Structure 1
Amino acid sequence: MEPFVRKDESYLTIESWMKQFPGLVAGITTKIGGVSKGDFETLNLGFHVDDEVNHVYLNREKVADLLNFPLDQWVGAEQIHDIGLKRVEKKDCGKGSVSYEQSFKGTDGFYTNEEGILLTLVFADCVPLFFIAPNAKMIGAAHAGWKGTVSQISKKMVAAFGTDGINPKDIHVVIGPSICEKCYIVDNRVVKLVENILEDVDRKPYNLISDGQFSLDLRQLNRLILLKAGIPDEQISMSNLCTSCDQELFFSHRRDQGKTGRMLSFIGWKEISNH
């Protein structure tokens, strides 16, 4: 079953989680409903893609209103396709929410167990990963392109939760909308790296399509890594939405040949305790 449900022209949510865990907000934006022009039409949420900064800011304000989660509670990252994770706290709120310069450097994932923080990352084909360990109130978000995936950022997040005493069996993961294997062609070099981490897997997540060219299922690869990290199969759900196939809904770096906007993944606990 598709875990993402469209709430509005501008975003989709992980509906089952939000029903199950009161106070949780989790999902991803679309490309529709913003003010950006040209290649960034219209809801571009990435500051680093040469869009007008003010347009990105207005788009972020719009999403903050839709989610009822103010910008000064967001955190954002300078994503570098690596496996740097950052545990964030209340004092970090606002970093990277209204400017790229202030975002967390060299970071491709966030986690926290505190309320009133929205973990945000930006995407245009790479795999958004969402984590929750409901008993510990720990949530996480990671950005997994092929580099982050083969460096096993998902396994690193499971290990980060583990430092808080959280067992992999208590973690649920959703793998979000991203490029599908039909649209994602890679070379030998990438496939060799994939082989290195999947020695004992029967069904490989890639297929040879022509000499030195393979189609790679990045979502399935992340799923296999999560299974190896100890997450139960029934606690991993995977979106079937492809950012490249669905031209109406999503930006795609591959399809748009690098000139495109970014969607925003988000996960956070709203403040429900009485202050």
Structure 2
Amino acid sequence: MNESAKREPFELYTAEDGTALLRIKEWEERFPWLSAGFSTRLGGVSAEPWSSLNCGLHVGDLDGDVAENRRRVAAAAGFAFDRWTCAEQVHGRDVAVVTAVDAGAGRLSRSDAIEAKDALVTIEPGVMLNAFYADCVPIWLVDPERRAVGIAHAGWRGAVADVAGEAVRTMTRAFGTKPSDVLAAIGPSIRGCCYEVDEAVARHIPEGSDSIEPAAVPGRYMLDLAKFNRQMLTKAGVLANHIEISVYCTSCRTDLFFSHRKEQGRTGRMTAWIARKE
């Protein structure tokens, strides 16, 4: 089946205040204790070039506007803002096991965010795990047997370092998760249609991977990190039929998403969240 013909796992939802979010509807219907989704760029208070639902504190936007945007996302997701919990992302593979004590880390300031982590996992109810994106790949993980959840941030460096697989392995060590029980979703990101890379990046992708192909220009390649992360998840033991993948490309859809590459670095950040409800 052509990927463009596949069912899109994310459904657009707009709250009463105009905050536009994508929800993993099937998961939320199957598991009433779960909340999982992704913000768009629509429905916030930030001015250009971060208009309007920028959730990143590190892009030059006003801190007060970012805080208000985050509050709107938390409210639309059904959580108090003091449960918003995030890390300082460094394009690595390290994973934090988040406890109730960590709840609220980083919600208003980068200074008290969880330090240098690109994936967060928890089994605690009421802790809203958040991470930030503007082309990199968001990855949601849920173990429905143990009600453990996780979120990962995978740019090309994190992807080749296997942050997705490390998040699954951390859930196994921390919570007893069986990889075959894990459900995964790969969200909107820059796709192979738009992500051109050079040989220095391409050489990290295993030969024969269907996630990369030559570009029109010699020595350049088109890389699909969503496909690559799907391969890393299956390598970690997640069943192929347990992995959902969005067809949205952030670079193609700057009407809906921020794109660091398309907008030449002057843009905002979406947030992905996952949480067990209390």
Query: Which category of TM-score, normalised to the shorter sequence, fits these structures?
Result: over 0.9
Matching residue of 1:4: 10
Quote the Cα distance in structure 2 between the aligned partners of 1:145 and 1:115.
Answer: 28
> Please, which runs of 5 or more residues in structure 2 have no aligned partner?
1-6
**Alignment length (residue pairs):** 266
Confirm or deny: 8 A CA contact 1:57 1:98 kept in the other structure: yes
**What CA deviation, in whole Å up to 9, does each residue of 1:61-94 have, x standing for no partner?**
1112212201111111110100111001111111
- Please give the residue correspondences for 1:126-275 in structure 2 after superposition, counting only pairs within 5 Å: 126-163=136-173, 164-195=175-206, 202-209=208-215, 210-271=217-278
Quote the Cα distance in structure 2 between the aligned partners of 1:47 and 1:82.
Answer: 19
Quote the Cα distance in structure 1 between the aligned partners of 2:20 and 2:137.
Answer: 19
Report deviation, 1:204. Answer: 2.6
- 1:40 is paired with a residue whose SS is coil
Confirm or deny: 8 A CA contact 2:121 2:149 kept in the other structure: yes
**What CA deviation, in whole Å up to 9, does each residue of 1:216-242 have, x standing for no partner?**
010000011111111111100100011
Quote the Cα distance in structure 2 between the aligned partners of 1:17 and 1:68.
Answer: 16
Amino acid at match of 1:55: D
Confirm or deny: 8 A CA contact 2:210 2:227 kept in the other structure: no
RMSD of aligned Cα (Å): 1.0
| Greater CA drift, 60-69 or 212-221 | 60-69
Quote the Cα distance in structure 2 between the aligned partners of 1:56 and 1:19.
Answer: 30
Quote the Cα distance in structure 2 between the aligned partners of 1:241 and 1:257.
Answer: 19
Report deviation, 1:203. Answer: 4.6
Confirm or deny: 8 A CA contact 2:91 2:158 kept in the other structure: yes
Quote the Cα distance in structure 1 between the aligned partners of 2:87 and 2:20.
Answer: 21
- 2:130 is paired with a residue whose SS is strand
Q: Structure 2 length as normaliser, TM-score?
A: 0.94
**What CA deviation, in whole Å up to 9, does each residue of 1:189-226 have, x standing for no partner?**
1111112xxx5xx5531111121100001000001111
Confirm or deny: 8 A CA contact 1:2 1:239 kept in the other structure: yes
Matching residue of 1:101: 111
Amino acid at match of 1:145: G
Quote the Cα distance in structure 1 between the aligned partners of 2:120 and 2:236.
Answer: 18
Quote the Cα distance in structure 1 between the aligned partners of 2:165 and 2:259.
Answer: 26
Runs of 4+ aligned residues of structure 1 deviating over 4 Å after TM superposition are none
Confirm or deny: 8 A CA contact 2:51 2:268 kept in the other structure: yes
Matching residue of 1:80: 90
Matching residue of 2:81: 71
Confirm or deny: 8 A CA contact 1:93 1:117 kept in the other structure: yes
Amino acid at match of 2:218: D
Quote the Cα distance in structure 2 between the aligned partners of 1:165 and 1:43.
Answer: 37
Quote the Cα distance in structure 1 between the aligned partners of 2:74 and 2:166.
Answer: 29
Confirm or deny: 8 A CA contact 1:71 1:98 kept in the other structure: no
Amino acid at match of 1:139: V
Quote the Cα distance in structure 2 between the aligned partners of 1:125 and 1:160.
Answer: 25
Quote the Cα distance in structure 2 between the aligned partners of 1:110 and 1:226.
Answer: 16
- 1:243 is paired with a residue whose SS is coil
